[in-house]
Structure 1
Amino acid sequence: MKASFLTMYGLVFVGVIHSHDQFLNACHVKMIPASFIQTHERHYTGLKVHITPPVMFSSNGSLKETADSKGKLYKLILAIEDNPSRAQELIWETTHGSESAASSSIKVEALLKYKFGSGTYNIGWELEWNSLQKLVERKELYPFPETSIDPQIYITKNPGMYSFSWVKGKGPRLHFGDNQQSSRILTYNDFQKTGIEFLLFSYADQNVAFQLGMIESGIPPRIFQQIVQCGNLEHLKLELVHNRIRGRCSLIADSIENERDIFYHPLNFDFDFGHHGQRIQFKLAQFIIAEGDICTLLIGKSTGESNEWVLGSSFLRAYNVTIDTGEVKTYKLVATNEEDLL
């Protein structure tokens, strides 16, 4: 059996119905702000994990080695909440570390299997010191402020049904299984010819993907540069600071209120998945963070093709997302009104 760990993969999403609060107390893993080094800047989101025995990290994110570090096995386990697991639901399966992913060469000595509903999920990995160190070096394990792993990598390398939600005041979460209902299921191909309206312009044949390991959503660089230059946004006095767009919250809030009645703002995203005639909107108030009267837009430059748009974890403020990462990947998206930040 192959016991490979984590490899990056891009995903996309699916269908829309009205909001509900069924995820509020469901079994979940918290998605927490994450960083590879000690810093106040947060660009990533990770699934919280516990490592035993405990390990220490230096401020630059590297593992601190002790005299007996290499003689131990380390268990890295997802921090599941709101569902105390029974012994029969958890099974450690030995893999003997004999096989690993060619792309990462991470050897896993044992996998912790978690039976939930009709599915079985990998939620724990037993590793030698060298393998744990490789995860850190390859930035597959976040050391700060708490240990965590990339959610997009996790669901890709561990096929199954996963749902993502945002709980007001608590942030994003990953859930096992699918608690959602939807009249429409979409696939990867449905998002390769998307129409997008943004900054008063329409863009045809755009590619849309998820990257829930990023807090920010990504837009093509040429369009990103236009935001601070857009004449229709001059009154917001937006500035580009350290590759992030910032402005005064009071001005942004006023502009949102002025546009609320017509359900439109130049900085809202409108997506038209033409194959199914489905339109969704990601509003400005759902992808900003405030510090005093300074608001930061949670959008940045995408790194792929010139027509690539990437939705980060802040998108979960607007939609619950279910992703089946099995052989035939399918997606569902359910509109919520959990958290408008202004």
Structure 2
Amino acid sequence: MLSRLHTSLLSSLILVGAACGDDGNTSATETSTSTTETPTSTDPTTTTTTTDDPTTTTTIDETTTTTSTDPTTTDPTTSTTTGVMPGDCAAPADDADEDGDAIANKDDNCRCDANPNQLDFDGNSVGNVCDEPLKFTIADGAPPEFNALQSQATASQFIAMCQFPVTLVATGGQIEVTLDDVGTGRVFAASVNMADTPQLECDIPLIVNVKLVIKSLVITGPEPFAVTFPFTVPDHDSGTITGLMSAIHNIVVNAILDVQESSNEGIAMPGESPLMDVPGSFPAGTVTVDNATGQVTVDFDDDGHTVFQQETMGGLQITLSGLTGKLRLRQ
């Protein structure tokens, strides 16, 4: 049992060292209002509906409440159901200024959240502040220029130590970006899928030599849009924005570690071990979003960031130092 514990911990550390659903927003147009054009009685228990046949009436037990839609609130240029902008509140397209941003409702691309700049990055006539997040899901660009993240893993015990490079190649996932009206973006690595690694080797002389492969690696972000980055309005208007992340991006790792060879089964037993919900973090990187190509790029260039560090019960300490490379996805 202790051997398997060593194996699991070693696996977790190597993997996380190596490694370094929709936000649920609901637009106003997703809610359909039940309508009726039939006159009803004021009797709270029944409703009498008169048809074209004057001799026929139908009595309905009023257990279901229906509402009438005022046709004057329907803006033919927006939602035909509610008369509001997609992703916005129920303000009609009139001369009023619901959000007080000096833009009349009828001209406002976000009527209930103030956005005097009317910034609309993707040009869909819905302002940034009430638009859905931009979502990028397809790995775009081949290694080594894009989607190959490089790092250095270290395993040490007392004065014995081994180091081995790890390259993780992204195959897809979902990175989301939201923008405001004045110059702040937010980035969320909802998921990043990695290809199986080639065989990796860690050799601590006289202690253990391990050859392993990391399989089915998926990195997820537990904190949606917790990391911000700045952008300028002129860059926004040009269609390409770039800014440095304000903080590290926390991640959670799930994968399978396949120990293919081991010289010391007491420390690392051969076989596959699941790695579940292992915590770690990406360093702060530079985020670039290009509207014309539908791409987002996160450029990591940090040799000092500790992506993960932990000591096993057997005294083996695993550390990942640094992360470099460009992760690029497209819509």
- Greater fraction helix: 1
Quick check: TM above 0.5? no
The TM tier, using the shorter chain, reads: under 0.3
Could you tell me the TM-score, scaled by structure 2's length? 0.27
Q: Which has the higher strand share?
A: 2
Higher RCO, 1 vs 2 (CA within 8 Å, ≥6 residues apart): 1
User: Rg: which structure is higher?
Assistant: 2
